[in-house]
Structure 1
Amino acid sequence: MTPMNNEEYLLKLQFSDELKELEAAKKASGLNFEQLAEKIGVNKVWLASAFKGQQWVPEEYCIKIAKTLGISSEKTVFLNNHPYKGNTDPILYRLHEVLDTYGPAIKDIIHEQGGNAIMSAIDFGLDVDVIEDAEGNHRVIIKFDGKLLPYAKKGKYPW
């Protein structure tokens, strides 16, 4: 059997039991998503997405969902975790967009400054910070620090 990759693990296993229990509580209540959403003051599509584990739910709404369904708030608190959304996750999507947009330029600069080489993803460091700039805006700073690896020249050129 092929082992699950990280995305499959997170999507299939993270909170799957809790989501099933939540769906069962909704079914037992006799409420549809529109009715439940109206009672707690949210959009029905957003709520249905939350019941699929695809939305971050503020704690106050976790409590409202539990109260409306007549279950313990311990049964809904897991919804307050930020979900993993695969490549549709806004942060992951933007990181892909950055590499798609700037990747060729980064590659050219690595070759200009480092020669015929690549950046290691094994001998590698990564840091992320959120800072406030002079105008009061919050900025994300991502630093990749990979060892420069020249291409091997084994065998007869061109190899």
Structure 2
Amino acid sequence: MTKNDMRDAILEAKASKGLSWEHIAERVGCAPVFVCATCLGEHSMTQDQAEKLTSVLGLNAEVATALTEIPTKALQGEALMNDPLIYRLKEINLVYGETIKQLIQEKFGDGIMSAIDFTMDIDRIEDPDGDRVQLTMSGKFLPYKRW
């Protein structure tokens, strides 16, 4: 089973059961962002996590095996950038990217934020002027090596 076949099976089962990513993640014992990204083919799970996930969704061992395989990341590529919601995130980086870089390096020094040692939460913040999306990203700071 390919990662794309796995993704399709998971999305179909999720929709047919009417489950949220938060519900699935709670049952698996992982963060919703991690579970969703894994199900979309961007990460891999332990065998135990994969078995819990496939049990929740009523899927077979072939899907569980695919969930444990190391993925090739970002296969959606530039096509994904055309989605309006995704493009807004790109736009945020185009407008605020240099500011983010300046402020991180002012606080931490010359380096980067890891996308490997990383967590993210997505929350809905109720607001009388229109609900807000709150993205909280936390990545380990990795200083550039000097040699």
Query: Which TM-score band applies after superposition, normalised by the shorter structure?
Result: 0.3 to 0.5
- Using structure 1 for the length normalisation, give the TM-score: 0.44
Q: TM-score, normalized by length of structure 2? A: 0.47
